Structure 1
């Protein structure tokens, strides 16, 4: 507000000083206008200070009353352990991800797109043990939507599922992942909520608070859907950018006729990037990332998984696909 007033007031001040030059060359003169303008300037400065003080100080007080822990979380480097009082209620967490989300994922994976969606190829690469294909759709007033298919040779469905869902091991090989923390698991629905921080080159790291759920179909394939959510203890931190839209899902199934499995993924997120810049970065960097993932998968398959964490998670609480979704999958087989 002060800056706006200063910009508006500057032409008046300039005119005032030009008019005060004494024609006789005796320098600046003081007239009756001088005192009037000086008084006006002083009054405006006082008003600005008063407005600033009134606007500035009540805000933290309001934030403190509504969100008592907002300030400590904004300044801390990590989140505290989740207590029962800070967790989502059992009723609420079971509604974060629904059967409708699974149905929409099945439709997307089977390419039941809207008529106005125009898809274009982005990349198609392969090696002896790996292949990757991706295309994207630019939607109006929405971030890019990606559909990809990755095939891993000599790999079981269960191994690929466990690898994808093992966030502790992901921190070993995925250097973009700074932090991951499990926040809550609902044993009745199988929904897990967690937080992660990811690096973005030359940009502020992005912060994600996500919920995900895993299902198993009758044909032995697995589905997973992940979306953004709010969580009481996961207050926003100033040094990170919170991603407000994140929708991602995949299906892992065996490739018919050979020892291989594929993961088909649909992904859409708004990380605050320019659409064309995001598209270019994806096209240039995704293949190297997939190759690193393949190397990590081969390493993961040699580990003694009995020694790995046995904490309750979405993987240990996998739900069976039922009802309409099961009927759709059976029809598509």
Structure 2
């Protein structure tokens, strides 16, 4: 019995040991199986995330997100540290000279350019007229004059230079970004995105500069340029040729001012299509601009914006340009005066009128003759006619004598 009991106990001990080892192996396998799924899911999640981030859809989404955030935070972004950027020499006084010649239509006298009238519209508060021509080189050239009633030069200048407000009223402007303010050259560079119906958005990287004349007028010239802060991006068509300039000045004799503008732009459109689009849509655009100007003035925005002179110093128009302009104005005025004087002299030769003294004496004599004749009108008229004939004879004789003396 002792050996059987010992055998039984050894057998039971081995059975318990085997069951414990089996249970431990099961727990280990269960634990291993439990860790396998999380690792698999983690690897799959990492692979999916990497694939999504490198997909073209995500790239477009990030670009749109950046543009939305930049446009929603501010329509004009603050320029980067421009002290490290090189000085700008894109625009010179020679550009101003060419602008003045174009505004005065002086270059066309030598080139025989044919202008075509495009539009002439007028309302109670604004008038607009434009014409265009096709130069030998370059895109279409437009010359327009817009006159704003009840508007000052400073008010219109601030309105035109407020790009932040332009984003609000000009629906073609999607975004504007200020790139650089160059104080040595008084030049500003900016980037503007414009969207037109049925067209890919156009990208403008432009430099512009202001001048002030001695008569209080303002000139601005703007042209295309390249800038390190504005690399080319997909999804936009960058405008390669852009030359535009204007002059704002007061209209003499009334509370109004005008902006005379010359504009050339190659936006990649067909010439006839661009001309038709301009003629059909420009008056509506000008009316919207006038409405925005009135709201701009009524809202007192001109007191809230940064005046252009506070950002960059406005250069003075070189004196030699002013002298040339004054001489030409004087020549035109002198020619007008000479023409008027010639017309007056011609009219005097054709219709010589008797002097006021002769007329007064004749009337006095006529009245006296009528009084003396006491109703005999024939007698009074005969006396008056005799007196007038004698006076005219004396006047003709004196004139003949004077002319004969001059010939001698």
Match of 2:190?
194
**Counterparts in 2 of 1:96 and 1:328: CA distance versus 1, 3 Å:** same
- Structure 1 CA distance, aligned partners of 2:254 and 2:201? 41
Match of 1:247?
243
Instruction: Give the structure with the higher percent strand.
Output: 1
- Structure 1 CA distance, aligned partners of 2:158 and 2:302? 12
TM-score using structure 2 length: 0.59
Deviates more, 1:296-305 or 1:248-257: 296-305
| Match among 127, 130, 136 for residue 131 of structure 1 | 127
- Structure 2 CA distance, aligned partners of 1:297 and 1:82? 27
Runs of 5+ in structure 2 lacking a partner? 1-58, 71-76, 330-408
- Structure 1 CA distance, aligned partners of 2:319 and 2:137? 34
What is the root-mean-square deviation in Å for CA atoms of aligned residues? Answer: 2.4
Q: Shift in Å at residue 186 of structure 1?
A: 1.3
Match of 2:94?
100
| Match among 316, 322, 325 for residue 326 of structure 1 | 322
Q: Give the 5 Å matches for 1:298-317.
A: 298-305=294-301, 308-310=304-306, 316-317=312-313
Instruction: Encode CA deviations 1:240-292: one digit per residue, 9 max, x unaligned.
Output: 00001000000001001000000000000000000000000000000000000
Q: Give the 5 Å matches for 1:33-112.
A: 77-78=66-67, 82-84=79-81, 88-90=85-87, 93=88, 95-112=89-106
Instruction: Give the structure with the higher percent helix.
Output: 2
- Structure 1 CA distance, aligned partners of 2:176 and 2:295? 21
Q: Give the 5 Å matches for 1:110-259.
A: 110-114=104-108, 115-259=111-255
Q: Tell me, what secondary structure is at the counterpart of 1:200?
A: coil
- Structure 1 CA distance, aligned partners of 2:227 and 2:215? 34
1:261 aligns with 2:257: yes
- Structure 2 CA distance, aligned partners of 1:161 and 1:85? 25
| Match among 265, 283, 291 for residue 295 of structure 1 | 291
C-alpha contact (below 8 Å) 1:178/1:197 kept by paired residues? yes
**Counterparts in 2 of 1:156 and 1:196: CA distance versus 1, 3 Å:** same
Instruction: Encode CA deviations 1:36-93: one digit per residue, 9 max, x unaligned.
Output: xxxxxxxxxxxxxxxxxxxxxxxxxxxxxxxxxxx99x95744896544896412xx0
Q: Looking at CA atoms only, which structure, 1 or 2, has the larger radius of gyration? A: 2
Q: Tell me, what secondary structure is at the counterpart of 1:203?
A: coil
C-alpha contact (below 8 Å) 2:131/2:142 kept by paired residues? yes
- Structure 1 CA distance, aligned partners of 2:143 and 2:174? 25
- Structure 2 CA distance, aligned partners of 1:303 and 1:245? 36
Q: Tell me, what secondary structure is at the counterpart of 1:238?
A: coil
- Structure 2 CA distance, aligned partners of 1:85 and 1:253? 32
- Structure 2 CA distance, aligned partners of 1:266 and 1:306? 26
Runs of 5+ in structure 1 lacking a partner? 1-70
**Counterparts in 2 of 1:147 and 1:82: CA distance versus 1, 3 Å:** same
